[in-house]
Structure 1
Amino acid sequence: MLQRTRDAGISVPELWLYYVSIGGTCAEICLDGYLHALMPLSALESMLVEHAIDEMTAETT
């Protein structure tokens, strides 16, 4: 997932802002930790992160 965001040129703050705008609730530092596989998120939060990445990458292509 981290590589997808890097390839698309999406920064963690940009992803976090989009993720929060669609209902995500974790802090930016937690999202960063999740992307680096350092901490887990709940299934719902993980789904929202993936959804945010999908939507953001669709906007850039």
Structure 2
Amino acid sequence: MHSIVFEHSLTGPHDCRHCAAVLRPLAGDCCVFCSFGDVPCPPIQEAKANGTVAGCCG
């Protein structure tokens, strides 16, 4: 049985102070945690552990 990780560290681009760009998911990812987190979001983790297709957290 796999445990779901609920604490994430986001890495990658941050909000731009100059243009106020907001962190958005990369193409094909459901959320910023899946794109830039050290682990995917909990629904994706659970689906991978169970071998099922997941919806996202958003």
TM-score of the superposed pair, with normalisation by structure 1: 0.29
Q: Which entry has the higher C-alpha Rg, 1 or 2?
A: 2
- RCO greater where, 1 or 2, for CA within 8 Å and sep 6 or more? 1
TM-score of the superposed pair, with normalisation by structure 2: 0.30
